[in-house]
Amino acid sequence: MSKYTSHNFVNNQWLGDGDGNHLSILQKYSGKEIGKIPQASEAQMETAIVSALEAFETTKKWSAGKRAEMMQKLHDRLASEKERFIQLIIDEGGKPRSYATTEIDRCLSTLSIAIEEATRYGGEVVPMDFDNGEGKTAFTKRYPIGVIACITPFNFPLNLVMHKVAPALAVGCTVVIKPAPQAPMSCLAFAELMKEVGYPAGTINVLCCDIPVAEKLVRDDRVAKLSFTGSDKVGWYLKSICGKKRVTLELGGNAAILVDEDTDVEAKAKLMAVGSFLYAGQICISTQRIFVHEKVFERFKNAFLAEVEKLPVGDPNQEETLVGPVIDAGHLERIDNWVKEAVDGGAEVLCGGMVKNKSQNLYLPTVLTNTQNSMKVCAEEVFGPVAVIEQVKDFEAGIKAVNDSKYGLQVGVFTNSMSHFKEAFERCEVGGVMMNNIPGFRIDHMPYGGVKDSGLGREGLTYAMDEMTEGRLIVF
């Protein structure tokens, strides 16, 4: 059995003991136990922080060329293990094979971008040659800030780790990671690769742990930054206890699509169906709310439902599957309860609306209408295979509906009117507006993040690197 199925990773050592409790990792479709990892103790977390601080004394002195060289070795090693990591993500995350393959490809891309940025990332020349600065020259240089505390979710068990680790390595920081309890093994296996290619002990530490031990990491003043991806409730709480350290929060959303009256809805229906239900909707920017101009609502509804009914649901190991299992039984029950609450409140089920197979954690792709904005399926993040479609009288009403949310991550706007798109860009309260595309569109170097309860700060390689460094000014 591989170490990453039964150990934590601290200071380049595999730790098979912990606080006496263990985390059972299940294959999400079959329910079979595939890993049993000890919950790390507070003393082990202390060791991880100290080792990361010690490693930082080495990595902060590396040249840009050295950082790029080490990341290239890591990239090549991950590429050689691509199939193993794909299967890991399928098993522990329940991610359909095609999408798990895409995740590893994105991990490799994220690393490639980090390699490039490591050698061209720098400060700026500051204009000084006027008034009291006449005759002076000034510029800034960026320096790594230290240890980064990383807390990551289950839905991208490696690429969301990569969005924290890659920029840290690119600038010379070190990391302590608490991975998602449902899917920690991809991260642990990646730490093993870092050891194999020669990173100093302590550069990466990965610990599964209970809340008090995780809070020790978040509260510790020796840690320079918290980078958290997960729920808004947990994220804002962690920000409240983390002290003076820097914070990036990538939180949830109930992403919307706005469909204008001039949209070819039949041509776009498949894209929107996949955007709503891929990976059982367990994506922060999965489409949850769809607002359609009343003039094309019936056409859209019919086309959309026809495409939803075609989506393959089942075993994530099958290449054709797009909608696999929900991450665990608790989330399956929650999703079902939220749909039932909506129906009891007057919502209409257009398709799905029930568990397909409880033992396999499968929930049918579900489309609701006649909902109220106060219903959980509208107001909260479902993080499951549920979408709501509602008609709006005009584009103005659609923008108001999009903004009537505590979240604001990304929005998709389908229109052939440039004036309408410009209006949406100016007025939609989100971090990103996708023109004639679903809100789930993301390229790994772009600035990614939200407003309101959807988060604080931005990820994407150079944007994260900015947050992991500080500028130092020299004037001469």
The fraction of the chain above a pLDDT of 90, given in percent, is: 99
If one counts every other C-beta atom within 10 angstroms of the C-beta of residue 394, the result is 12
Report pLDDT digits (tens) over 234-282: 999 999 999 999 999 999 899 999 999 999 999 999 999 999 999 999 9
Interhelix angle 232-241/211-219, rounded to 10 degrees, is: 50
If one counts every other C-beta atom within 10 angstroms of the C-beta of residue 409, the result is 27
**Helix, strand, or coil (residue 191):** helix
Report pLDDT digits (tens) over 147-160: 999 999 999 999 99
Question: 308 lies in a domain?
Answer: yes
Quickly list H helices, 40-172. Answer: 42-59, 64-80, 82-93, 97-120, 159-171
Report pLDDT digits (tens) over 383-420: 999 999 999 999 999 999 999 999 999 999 999 999 99
Whether the per-residue pLDDT at 107 is higher than 80: the answer is yes
Report pLDDT digits (tens) over 3-27: 999 999 999 999 999 999 999 999 9
Total residues belonging to the chain: 476
Question: 267 lies in a domain?
Answer: yes
Assess contact for 297 and 261: CB atoms under 8 A.
Answer: no
Q: What's the pTM? A: 0.96
Give the pLDDT mean for 161-190.
98
What tokens does 127 get? 């204009």
Q: Which of 245, 248, 277 is nearest to 150 (CA)?
A: 248
What tokens does 218 get? 């978040």
Report pLDDT digits (tens) over 459-474: 999 999 999 999 999 9
pLDDT of 300 reads 98
Q: Are residues 225 and 279 in the same domain?
A: no
Residue ranges of E strands in 285-403: 289-293, 348-351, 355-357, 362-363, 366-369, 386-392
Number of domains composing the chain: 2
Q: Are residues 439 and 470 in the same domain?
A: no
Question: 269 lies in a domain?
Answer: yes
What tokens does 342 get? 């909506």
Question: 420 lies in a domain?
Answer: yes
Q: Are residues 113 and 144 in the same domain?
A: yes
pLDDT of 435 reads 97
Q: Are residues 411 and 356 in the same domain?
A: yes
Give the pLDDT mean for 61-68.
98
Q: Are residues 372 and 341 in the same domain?
A: yes
Q: Which of 156, 28, 138, 152 is nearest to 102 (CA)?
A: 156
Assess contact for 50 and 177: CB atoms under 8 A.
Answer: no
Report pLDDT digits (tens) over 290-323: 999 999 999 999 999 999 999 999 999 999 999 9
Q: Are residues 15 and 92 in the same domain?
A: yes
Q: Are residues 421 and 324 in the same domain?
A: yes
Residues paired with residue 231 on neighbouring β-strands, in sequence order = none
For the chain, how long is the longest CA-to-CA vector?
Answer: 75
Q: Are residues 196 and 304 in the same domain?
A: no
Give me the CATH number covering residue 466.
3.40.605.10
Assess contact for 85 and 158: CB atoms under 8 A.
Answer: yes
Give the pLDDT mean for 45-74.
98
Q: Which of 426, 428, 416, 404 is nearest to 296 (CA)?
A: 416
Q: Are residues 433 and 460 in the same domain?
A: no
b/e per residue, 301-329, with b = 16+ CB within 10 A? Answer: bebbbebbeebebbbbbeeebbbbbbbbe
Question: 71 lies in a domain?
Answer: yes
Assess contact for 214 and 220: CB atoms under 8 A.
Answer: no
Question: 448 lies in a domain?
Answer: no
Give the pLDDT mean for 186-200.
98
Query: Regarding beta strands 22-26 and 33-38, do their DSSP bridges make them parallel or antiparallel, or are they unpaired?
Result: antiparallel
Give me the CATH number covering residue 330.
3.40.309.10
Measured CA to CA, the distance from residue 312 to residue 278 in angstroms comes to: 10
Planar angle of CA 343, 345, 349, nearest 5 degrees: 25
If one counts every other C-beta atom within 10 angstroms of the C-beta of residue 103, the result is 24
Q: Which of 373, 365, 385, 388 is nearest to 291 (CA)?
A: 388
**Which positions are annotated as active-site residues?**
250, 284
Whether the per-residue pLDDT at 1 is higher than 80: the answer is no
Q: Is 333 exposed, middle or buried (CB count within 10 Å of its CB: 0-12, 13-18, 19+)?
A: middle
What tokens does 180 get? 């998602």
| Residue range of the domain that includes 178 | 3-251+454-475
Q: Are residues 183 and 325 in the same domain?
A: no
The fraction of the chain above a pLDDT of 70, given in percent, is: 100
Q: Are residues 187 and 267 in the same domain?
A: no
If one counts every other C-beta atom within 10 angstroms of the C-beta of residue 176, the result is 24
Q: Are residues 304 and 187 in the same domain?
A: no
Question: 200 lies in a domain?
Answer: yes
Question: 449 lies in a domain?
Answer: no
Averaged pLDDT score across all residues of the chain: 98
Query: Which amino acid belongs to residue 126?
Result: V
